[in-house]
Amino acid sequence: MYTDLNDHLPSPARMASTSRRPPPVATITPHTKPVISVEEWEAKAPLGEVESRSVNVVKAASEHIPLPQKFSGDDTNALSRPSSPALRNKLQPGLVASSSSRPATPNPFGAGSPHTSSRTPAHHVLHPKHPIQTPQQFYDWFALIDRSVAHSQEAHFRAHLSRVAEHLDTCDTLLKRIDEVDSEVEGMLQGWRGVEEGGKSLKDACEQLLEERDNLIYTTEAIGERLEYFQELEQATRMLNHPGESLVLQTDFLYMVERVDICIDYLKAHRHFREAELYLLRFQQCMTRAMTLIKMYFVGSLRALTADISRRMSEREVSATAQTHLLYTRFMTVSGQLAPLLGELERRAAAHPEDLSSLLAECHTAYFTARKSLLVGRLTEEIRGLDPTRTELVELTRTGCSYLKQLCTDEFDLFRAFFNSGEDLLYQYLENLCDYLYDDLRPRILHEPRLTALCEVCTVLQALMVLDVPVADLDEDEDEDELTVEFDKPKKKGLKTLHISHLLQMVLQDAQTRLFFKAQSVIQSEIRYYTPKAEDLAYPEKLVAARKPVSGTEIKEKESVSQLFRFKSLDRQDTWYPTLRKTVWVLSQLHDFVKPAIFDDIAQEAVNLCRQSLVIAADNLRSSNKSSPHDAQLFLVRHLLILKEMTSNLDFTVKDADRKVDLTGVTDTLTSMLGKTTSLLPNALFASLGMPREENLTDVKHGIDHELKRACEDVIASSADPVCKPLQTWLDRVASFKAMPGAQNQPIGSQPWATQEAITSVLTAFQEACHRDLHIYVARLRLYLEDDRTVNVLLKHVQDRIVDEYTEFKMTVMRELGTGLGELGSEEAVRLLLQDVCDNGESAGPSTSS
């Protein structure tokens, strides 16, 4: 019934033409349009009240969709016709608005036709005109009905096919237009590509041309830069060929010299250039010619100035001020013009010593020759005025060396105004000037017999050296190769400051050598071979006299003693033995003026000889009738302590300046000493006396320690033995009695010396000895030993020895006689008694009684 729809679809030819269309040419992708959300739309385009009402009205109207117009009319004829499937589907509810509803069978008569209203349904065009009588009629009628139904059902398909055909024709037309547009666009793109490729080729060609141009410009500039060094030779040669010595004063001269120097350095670094060696040789010749012109101008100016100054100084008497003006001010004035030229010569000579150092040496020689010719006459006249043969040595040294220092300082400053180098030659020149005074001063020093004068000479020389303070060079970080063409600005100096110590060192060494030999002579004559006089051994009278108050007009021995030799006993040198006083004096004179190693040797010798002389003096004092053995022992202890203190000060300075003195353990160390140990005095004993001790003692210190140990033991024994004599006598009797045969059968108490009365008399004699003898010894100790701490250390061990003796006596009495003789005093009571006697001895003051 239905017609096949494939007949109405697009033909294969049409589809093929469509498929043959070239793909769209890739073009530049357009930018994606921005997408806006509903919320953003609502925010950016808000609706007012009127707009909202109109939207609501449209919404309400669109909710009820009316039937299509073709279904809205009253088709009464259709209702009278036999129903067909299409009509039934059209009239079914729910299919009114369906897009798939088909139209009813077309009515041969229109809706408004008069036949519609007048004819009855029996006269319908499909009704049989005659009644059907035969099956064939029925079949014919049925075929007619069937064709009518089929025609009515296929009408909308045909209409749709016609519309589709129209659309296909339109699409074919559009495709043709699109193909035409595509071909046009493709042509445009091909043209654009051609233009782009042509532009790129043109750009590359331009860039290549620019690069070639830049390379040519760079090559031209590089060649020009290198040619400038070679072209500089012509300008330098032309300038050097100008006549006249004033050429060096032209402003362009130093600039030309600098350029020549730069060209020389450049050609040395690029010897592979063509004819570089030839040009290098010519540039070096130009540099030598330029420096020779500077040398000739300097020497000529110097000779003219020297001749003028010599003529003026020889015409008439010239005052000292005028001489200073001629000798220094005139030279300073000329230095402002010559110094830049000499500076260039020095710089070039340092850079090219093989070619130009000889020229600089000639300038130095000419300068020193000119200065020496002007100064020698004045210098000899000044030295002659000092009268070297009659003037006192110290005054001659002070005046002459001060004058030489001022002269050398002036010469040094003047030399710095001209030169920045030649320091060694300058010091040789200054040493030659100093020799005019040293030739007269050295013999006086080498024949000077006085040790004090030699020390003062060393003091003067060292004082002049101490004032030799270097000046910091503030310009040391500046570039030394900087070109300077301004004559009025001073250049920085290569010479820092004058070291006067170099010039005075030779005289100082002569004075120190003479001082050393003279000190050795004094040590041998006045210490080793010293013969004591009677007043030298007048002890303790000297000490008693020293305790008396002195008048305010009394002159002290010497105030200018080295800080090294300042200690407590120094103020009482008049009570010292002469050899000790001479030892301290000689070493104090030498310490600041000789080298440490030499001083150590001579100090060791002096201290050793002084110790020996003190031991001999103590023996002489012991054998004399005027002094007791106790005085000799205290004399030796006193002087050995002073000598030890002095050597300790020397040790502090030379070896260990940070070493501290250990003042602890006095009782233990003295107990160890009194216990007759085989070692020398313990270290802490010397520390308690203010004398530190090294682990590795020298032979000299061993000798002092040994003698001091023996002397201390003798003092302690001589102080304690007289006090303990009653106790010791009684103990000796007990020992003798017990050694007798048959003594074991006889009680000791039966002896007359062992009775209670005898024991009481022994104790009484002991107490009297404590008050009498110990009191004297305490006063004598304080007279000889001025340090209370030292006295207390020795007294404590004296007390310990006495208490030990009393303890032995008490134990013997208790053991041999029992307690029947009465209670003896305790050791603590005896110690309190001894302490009271010692305290009273301190308040009693010194005494010379024995």
Q: What is the pLDDT of residues 603-646, one digit of tens each?
A: 889 999 999 999 999 998 888 877 778 888 888 999 999 888 88
Q: Give the least confident one: 80-94, 276-290, 447-461, 559-573.
A: 80-94
So what's the pLDDT on residue 93? 42
Q: How far apart are CA 254 and CA 658, in angstroms?
A: 61
The answer on pLDDT for 171 being more than 90 is yes
What average pLDDT score do residues 33-51 get? 78
CB distance 408 to 435 below 8 Å? no
So what's the pLDDT on residue 669? 38
Cis bond upstream, residue 747 (ω within 30): no
pLDDT band for 799, please (50, 70, 90 cuts): confident
Q: Give the least confident one: 12-26, 507-521, 834-848.
A: 12-26
The answer on pLDDT for 247 being more than 50 is yes
The answer on pLDDT for 137 being more than 70 is yes
pLDDT band for 560, please (50, 70, 90 cuts): very low
So what's the pLDDT on residue 414? 94
Q: Give the least confident one: 78-87, 320-329, 640-649.
A: 78-87
So what's the pLDDT on residue 338? 92
Amino acid code (one letter) for 583: T
DSSP 748: G
So what's the pLDDT on residue 97? 37
The answer on pLDDT for 20 being more than 50 is no
The answer on pLDDT for 221 being more than 60 is yes
The answer on pLDDT for 204 being more than 90 is yes
Q: Give the least confident one: 375-389, 588-602, 606-620, 820-834.
A: 820-834
Nearest-5° Cα angle at 292, 290 to 297:
100
Range among 75-79, 431-435, 469-473 rated most confident: 431-435
Range among 191-205, 454-468, 617-631 rated most confident: 191-205
Q: Which two structure tokens, joined as six digits, stand for 11?
A: 């033909």
> Nearest to residue 78, comparing CAs of 101, 98, 106, 99?
106
The answer on pLDDT for 484 being more than 70 is no
pLDDT > 70: percent of the chain: 74
Quick: pLDDT tens for 516-554.
899 899 899 988 998 888 888 888 888 888 776 655 444
The answer on pLDDT for 826 being more than 50 is yes
CB distance 523 to 609 below 8 Å? yes
CB distance 799 to 835 below 8 Å? yes
* Main-chain phi, psi angles of 225, to 5 degrees: -60, -45
**CB-based contacts of 442, cutoff 8 Å, min separation 6:** 507, 510
What average pLDDT score do residues 814-841 get? 73
- Residue 469 Ramachandran class (φ > 0 left, ψ -120 to 50 alpha, else beta): beta
Q: Give the least confident one: 34-43, 270-279, 476-485.
A: 476-485
What average pLDDT score do residues 11-34 get? 48
What average pLDDT score do residues 439-451 get? 88
pLDDT band for 227, please (50, 70, 90 cuts): confident
- Mapped onto helix, strand or coil, the DSSP state of residue 553 is coil
pLDDT band for 688, please (50, 70, 90 cuts): very low
What average pLDDT score do residues 221-228 get? 86
So what's the pLDDT on residue 725? 86
Length of the chain: 850
pLDDT band for 515, please (50, 70, 90 cuts): confident
Nearest-5° Cα angle at 639, 633 to 641:
100
What average pLDDT score do residues 258-271 get? 89
CB distance 461 to 378 below 8 Å? no
What average pLDDT score do residues 8-17 get? 44
How far is residue 7 CA from its own chain's centroid? 106
Burial class (CB in 10 A: 0-12, 13-18, 19+), 782: buried
What average pLDDT score do residues 429-447 get? 90
Q: Which residue has the higher pLDDT, 342 or 680?
A: 342
pLDDT band for 15, please (50, 70, 90 cuts): very low
Amino acid code (one letter) for 89: N
So what's the pLDDT on residue 743? 60
The answer on pLDDT for 273 being more than 60 is yes
So what's the pLDDT on residue 305? 94
The answer on pLDDT for 94 being more than 60 is no
So what's the pLDDT on residue 575? 85
The answer on pLDDT for 680 being more than 70 is no
pLDDT band for 596, please (50, 70, 90 cuts): confident
What average pLDDT score do residues 376-385 get? 88
Query: Residue 527 CB: number of other CB atoms within 10 A?
Result: 22
* Start-end of H helices in 241-250: none
DSSP 118: H
The answer on pLDDT for 307 being more than 60 is yes
- Mapped onto helix, strand or coil, the DSSP state of residue 664 is coil
So what's the pLDDT on residue 409? 92
Q: Give the least confident one: 244-258, 302-316, 334-348, 366-380.
A: 244-258
Q: How far apart are CA 621 and CA 615, in angstroms?
A: 10
Q: How far apart are CA 589 and CA 520, in angstroms?
A: 12
Quick: pLDDT tens for 698-730.
577 788 888 888 889 888 888 888 888 888 888
Average pLDDT of the chain is 77
pLDDT band for 84, please (50, 70, 90 cuts): very low
- Residue 201 Ramachandran class (φ > 0 left, ψ -120 to 50 alpha, else beta): alpha
Query: Residue 448 CB: number of other CB atoms within 10 A?
Result: 18
So what's the pLDDT on residue 105? 44
CA atoms within 13 A on the CB side of 145: 14
What average pLDDT score do residues 456-474 get? 70
